[in-house]
Amino acid sequence: MVRYIIFDFDGTLANTNGLVLDSWQETLRHYLGHELPERVIEATYGEVLVATMAKLIPGTEVDEAVEYFRAYQDSLPKKEMIHAFDGVTDLLVELRRRGCLIGVGTSRTANTFHDYMTMLGMYELVDEVVTMNDVTRHKPDPETAEAVLKKLAAHDGREWSDALRKEAIFIGDTKYDIGCAQNAGIDSVLVGWSHYVDEEDMAASGFAPTYKIKKPAELLELI
């Protein structure tokens, strides 16, 4: 029985795709003088920002470019550009009604995650959270998934054991999420409601989701 449900945030619970894409294109225009194809940027979704910055804008001062990216993103109208995907809030409500514990494992910073979750009114539907500030090794390393699961087990009053991995499932929209779950020995779900995912590239990275779903409600059938 699946008791511990772990979600990624960006592109899984919340549609921040436009916000992220706009921020990247502005940063690319500033440093490279041109934009990149949307799918090139989408392929980096889920990766830690500093790693993507070094890859897409080689030779630049990464910290400076990250600061530029974040300053531009902070200037954008969040309430107009961020919303929960259709059916996600209803899914969280139903999962809690069924007695599941819900965690979030995100590569977003703690501050912006807190701000966006508060804006969306979703905090009360989540039991435990792990952000990029809480780990030293990021997705697809298993640390994020394992950290969330350990917090959920403690929240549940249970001692940690490897057997708990079989009671968990990780839901995400990128190869980094699927790899994180796979490396942690946790079943994974690739969502199909967010953006284009190059599954050949995912497979070439050695990752494969346990399940795929197109709508949030389909998760209920899996668990």
Radius of gyration over every alpha carbon of the chain, rounded to an integer in angstroms: 17
Q: Considering the domain delimited by 4-15+82-222, tell me its CATH architecture.
A: 3-Layer(aba) Sandwich (3.40)
Inter-axis angle of helices 17-32 and 49-56, nearest 10: 40
pLDDT tens digit string along 152-198? 999 999 999 999 999 999 999 999 999 999 999 999 999 999 999 99
Chain mean pLDDT for the chain? 96
Which candidate, 213, 174, 181, places its Cα nearest to that of 195? 174
Which candidate, 180, 86, 99, 78, places its Cα nearest to that of 138? 180
**CATH for the stretch 17-80:** 1.10.150
What is residue 1's predicted lDDT score, i.e. its pLDDT?
A: 85
Q: What is the full DSSP assignment across 142-172?
A: THHHHHHHHHHHHHTT----GGGGGGEEEEE
For residue 146 the two structure tokens come to 């394992």
Alpha helices of the chain — where are they, by DSSP H? 17-32, 38-42, 49-56, 62-75, 78-81, 88-97, 110-120, 143-155, 175-183, 199-204, 218-222
pLDDT tens digit string along 46-95? 999 999 999 999 999 999 999 999 999 999 999 999 999 999 999 999 99
Q: How confident is the model at residue 129 (pLDDT cuts 50, 70, 90)?
A: very high
Structural domain boundaries in the chain: 4-15+82-222, 17-80
177, 12 in Cβ contact below 8 A? yes
Alpha-carbon distance values, 89 to 56, 102, 121, 153 (Å): 34, 12, 9, 23
pLDDT tens digit string along 91-116? 999 999 999 999 999 999 999 999 99
Question: What global pTM score does this model have?
Answer: 0.96
The dihedral sign for the CA sequence 9, 13, 16, 18: positive
189, 172 in Cβ contact below 8 A? yes
pLDDT tens digit string along 14-35? 999 999 999 999 999 999 999 9
Cα–Cα–Cα angle for 153, 159, 160, rounded to 5 degrees: 70
